[in-house]
Amino acid sequence: MNRDGQKRESELIKLISAEKLPRHVAIIMDGNGRWARKQGLPRIAGHREGMNTLKEIITCANELGINVVTLYAFSTENWKRPSWEVEFLMRLPEEYLKTELQPLIEKNIVIRAMGDLEQLPAVTKRAIKNALQATKDNTGMILNFALNYGGRNEILNAVKKIAERVQEGALKPEEISEDLFTRYLYTGDLPDPDLLIRPSGELRISNFLLWQLAYTELWFTRTLWPDFNKEHFLKAILDYQERERRFGGINKI
């Protein structure tokens, strides 16, 4: 990065209020394939370049003091992609963690994963299991990967589990509340995202955290994920800090 870029980042960091940081930031890492096509490269080159972006954003979020970052890494719909691309994507966690696990451990970061993980290939499950075990005693920022994840599936799974408890007599229908339902989601012990970031110009949430995003602030950019950088991330945080979050209420005068 040149000096002008470093200067802009430094100026943006000075504007950020530590008291108004989002506790939980969710990111849809979108645009890898389009980035590769624009460069005249195969799609897998875009996914690999996207990993470099991931490293930079995780480092920045951790340094800022954000508590949770959830990344949409692979959706239940992504299985529809060509088999060669799916196979490559399934090996990315292993490739990423091979070089980044130790630095993440040293930064006291906790790695988590959510989704239908049992359906993942053995090599992917092995890499994830190793990372979860290696960071389970850490106490810092939670880095939560959504793998083979779909928001509708998550809600259906929660409904089935609650229905089973009602059928067993361990729970009464009238005892079902928003708080109880939330505890049956993958993110049951995490705060809902305060901010959702989606690069690439798409203006939708694509079956991501459907329940949890009810009052999340949304931030979109046309920048493709491999070109997304620390400056973009800082601008998203600053934009979030300028918004009024009323949660259905009104401003106090």
Distances (CA, A) of 152 to 73, 75, 195: 16, 11, 20
Q: In a 3-state reduction of DSSP, which class is residue 144? A: strand
Closest among 69, 78, 75 to 26, alpha carbons compared: 69
Whether 72 maps to a domain, the answer reads yes
- Is residue 63 included in any domain, yes or no? yes
* Distance, CA of 12 to CA of 234 (rounded, Å): 6
Q: Does residue 174 surpass a pLDDT of 80?
A: yes
- As a whole number, the mean pLDDT across the chain is 95
Domain hosting 214: range is 22-149+192-241
**The pLDDT of residue 155:** 98
Dump pLDDT digits (tens) for 124-163: 999 999 999 999 999 999 999 999 999 999 999 999 999 9
CA gap 225, 190 in Å, rounded:
25
Is residue 1 very low, low, confident or very high in pLDDT (cuts 50, 70, 90)? Answer: low
Q: At 250, is the pLDDT very low, low, confident or very high (cuts 50, 70, 90)?
A: low
Residue 39 included in any domain = yes
Q: Which residues are catalytic?
A: 30, 78
Looking at the domain assignment, is residue 114 inside a domain? Answer: yes
pLDDT of residue 249: 67
Number of domains in the chain: 1
Domain contains 253: no
Asked whether residue 59 is assigned to any structural domain, the reply reads yes
pTM metric for this prediction: 0.94
Q: Does 66 reside within a domain?
A: yes
For 160, other C-beta atoms within 10 Å of its C-beta total: 10
Rounded to whole angstroms, what are the CA distances from 238 to 12, 24, 30, 91, 106? 8, 15, 21, 35, 28
Q: Is residue 162 part of a domain?
A: no
The CATH number linked to 95 is: 3.40.1180.10
Closest CA to 50 of 39, 35, 61: 35
CB 141 within 8 A of CB 57: no
Q: Is the pLDDT of residue 182 over 70?
A: yes
pLDDT range class, residue 226, cuts 50, 70, 90: very high
Helix 83-106 vs helix 43-64: crossing angle, to nearest 10: 30
Residue type, 239: D
